[in-house]
Chain A
Amino acid sequence: QVHLVQSGAEVKKAGSSVKVSCKASGGSMDSGGSFSNFGVSWVRQAPGQGLEWMGGIIPLFSATNYAHNFQGRMTITADKETGIAHMELSSLRSEDTAIYFCARSEFERIFRGRTYEFYYYGMNVWGQGTTVVVS
């Protein structure tokens, strides 16, 4: 049984950065003990609000994708061997106060035009969430 364990709650000042970790544990290396064959998505939820996909990474191909709202101030990294992913968000503002979730994603890699496109779907294992408060 694969689990994703996230780092603890953070309180940050506006303008600073936060880095949240997500570690995969349990299961074999092939079935998901690491991220070798999966993607990792980051999703956040502001207080009382819905879900917002922020970005993702496919460690196997070292490919990252960011939602438009977060391009330029979000960085996602992952080590497929250790099964640890990180999400760093900079230039924090009060609106970034939220619970941040990591989730293991299925993905498809499809060649289109001159490049590969990655599709993140089927987020089937979720971390417990990390509360980030920006004051």
Chain B
Amino acid sequence: EIVMTQSPLYLPVTPGEPASISCKSNQSLQHGNGNDYLDWYLQKPGQSPQLLIYLGSYRASGVPDRFSGSGSGTDFTLRISRVEAEDVGVYYCMQALQTPTFGQGTKVDI
């Protein structure tokens, strides 16, 4: 099983300031086809999760461009260029190279 480790687990943020979350896997998530099978999800309080980023760096439809994903192999980062109040919630990374597994989640709060 691929183990996903996020840091930090709690991230206090200030509106208008940047923020970033790290996600590391215990083995490479890059397939021979060149894709990195790594998604980012946000679960706002009381809601179902929503997709932010897929295949490491592709922003999902309707996701604001202040969200960006980067990285390859075993190290990935989600960045928010300017945090807004609506960005609070728990962020999860998920690997999809093998049976999908999620990171522990990072709680983002203002």
Contacts and interface: CB of A to CB of B under 8 A. Distances in A.
B104 to A, nearest CB: 6
A130 B40 CA distance: 22
Contacts of B103: 50
B100 interface: yes
In the complex, which range does the number of interface residues on chain A fall in?
Answer: 20 to 34
A119 B102 contact: no
Contacts of A108: 33, 35
Overall SS of chain A's interface: strand
Nearest to B37: A121
Interface string B66-110: 000000000000000000000000101010110111111100000
A106 interface: yes
A90 B31 CA distance: 34
18 contacts: A41-B100, A43-B49, A51-B43, A67-B100, A101-B48, A106-B54, A108-B33, A119-B37, A119-B97, A121-B94, A121-B96, A121-B100, A122-B54, A123-B39, A123-B49, A124-B51, A124-B60, A126-B48
